[in-house]
């Protein structure tokens, strides 16, 4: 099964509209000749519209960093799936560990968001990963398994098939401490096998699983060489076009 590598940049709470526009312009240039890799960027909500307009005609996709599951109504501060569709989002990141850690996201709310995204035709980048404490206590696999089961609860195969999963060990996010390719591969393989048991081997073989956590131009090649690592969700290193484009062009390193 050949899975098209998928590299996405998560800008988190960085970049004003003006700064985001500048970064999008630079990325359009530095990534113009890239093929055989799917690329997307996830600016903050306020910059989505502007970035989308700038990226029109390029092969760089647009992702949001979160959504709320209701269609509309009295939910102050939230953004609906239809609003994201309207500004041109293709993807939405759901269940990022920062949402789980700081904003009370649970497997159940992740599940509701995933269902809402599917209903509105947004592809999901579904994030999972253990904390340092959980890893040290030997709970990595049980935590990841619980997150996969909880996040996908009640979802049919056709809803899961277009999804992308992102394994992001919390201890590796923004810390400069990447998982070794072998450590990451071990968990990626576990996740793929789990998807195989929940759905089918055939489907599990098609789903892309990104790695996230301190990905840089220095470590991307080793990660991508692993059989079950199909791309990366990049935080800090996606905030500069030159560095991000090196990661996207990992084959040339
Ligand atoms: P990082 O973030 O690359 O800055 O570690 C990754 C992420 O949170 O998606």
The Cα 133–Cα 95 span in angstroms is 19
168 part of the active site:
yes
Rounded distance from Cα 214 to ligand 1 centre (Å): 6
pLDDT at 37: 97
pLDDT at 190: 98
Rounded distance from Cα 240 to ligand 1 centre (Å): 14
Tell me: the pLDDT tens digits for 157-193? 999 999 999 999 999 999 988 899 999 999 999 999 9
pLDDT at 97: 97
CB 91 within 8 Å of CB 42: yes
pLDDT at 177: 85
Rounded distance from Cα 170 to ligand 1 centre (Å): 9
Average pLDDT over residues 201-207: 97
pLDDT exceeds 80 at position 226: yes
Q: Among 64, 103, 213, which is best to mutate for testing ligand 1, by the most ligand atoms less than 8 A from CB?
A: 213
Tell me: the pLDDT tens digits for 115-167? 999 999 999 999 999 999 999 999 999 999 999 999 999 999 999 999 999 99
- Please compute, for residue 189, the number of CA atoms within 13 A of its CA located in the half-sphere on the CB side: 8
Tell me: the pLDDT tens digits for 53-75? 999 999 999 999 999 999 999 99
pLDDT exceeds 80 at position 1: no
Q: Whose CA is nearest to atom 2 of ligand 1?
A: 235
- Please compute, for residue 143, the number of CA atoms within 13 A of its CA located in the half-sphere on the CB side: 21
The Cα 231–Cα 38 span in angstroms is 9
- Report percent pLDDT > 90 for the chain: 95
pLDDT at 19: 98
∠ Cα 93 94 98 (to 5°): 95
Q: Among 233, 246, 248, which is best to mutate for testing ligand 1, by the most ligand atoms less than 8 A from CB?
A: 233
Residue 66: C-alpha distances to residues 31, 154, 179, 242 (Å): 25, 20, 25, 26
Q: How many residues comprise the chain?
A: 253
The Cα 66–Cα 69 span in angstroms is 10
The Cα 96–Cα 119 span in angstroms is 20
CA 49 to chain centre: 20
Q: What is the DSSP string of the chain?
A: -----EEEEE--S---HHHHHHHHHHHHHHTTT--SSEEEEE--GGGHHHHHHHHTTSSEEEEES---SSSSSS-TT---HHHHHHTT--EEEES-HHHHHHS---HHHHHHHHHHHHHTTPEEEEEE---HHHHHTT-HHHHHHHHHHHHTTT--HHHHTT-EEEE--GGGTTTS-PPPHHHHHHHHHHHHHHHHHHS-HHHHHH-EEEEESS--TTTHHHHHTSTT--EEEESGGGSSHHHHHHHHTGGG-
Ligand 1 atom closest to Cα of 238? 3
Single out the catalytic residue among 98, 130, 168, 185: 168
Pocket of ligand 1 (CB under 6 A): 10, 168, 173-174, 212-215, 233-237
Rounded distance from Cα 205 to ligand 1 centre (Å): 25
Query: What confidence category does residue 48 fall into, taking pLDDT thresholds of 50, 70 and 90?
Result: very high
């Amino acid at each position: 099964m050949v899975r098209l590598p998928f590299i996405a940049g998560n800008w988190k709470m960085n970049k004003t509209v003006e700064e985001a526009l500048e970064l999008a312009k630079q990325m359009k240039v530095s990534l113009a000749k890239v093929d055989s890799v799917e690329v997307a960027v996830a600016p903050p909500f306020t910059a989505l519209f502007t970035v989308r307009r700038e990226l029109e005609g390029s092969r760089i996709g647009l992702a949001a960093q979160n959504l709320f599951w209701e269609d509309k109504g009295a939910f102050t501060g939230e953004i609906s799936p239809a609003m994201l569709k309207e500004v041109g989002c293709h993807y939405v990141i759901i269940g990022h560990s920062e949402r789980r850690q700081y904003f009370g996201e649970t497997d159940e709310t992740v599940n509701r968001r995933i269902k809402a995204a599917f209903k509105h035709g947004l592809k999901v980048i579904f994030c999972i990963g253990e904390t340092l404490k959980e890893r040290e206590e030997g709970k990595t696999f049980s935590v990841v398994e619980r997150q996969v089961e909880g996040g996908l609860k009640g979802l049919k195969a056709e809803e899961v098939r277009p999804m992308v999963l992102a394994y992001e060990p919390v201890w590796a996010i923004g810390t400069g401490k990447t998982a070794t390719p072998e450590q990451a591969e071990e968990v990626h393989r576990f996740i793929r096998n789990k998807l195989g048991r929940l759905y089918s081997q055939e489907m599990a073989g098609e789903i892309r699983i990104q790695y996230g956590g301190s990905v840089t131009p220095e470590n991307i090649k080793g990660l991508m060489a692993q059989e079950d690592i199909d791309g990366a969700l990049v935080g800090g290193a996606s905030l500069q076009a030159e560095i991000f484009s090196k990661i996207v062009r990992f084959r040339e390193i």
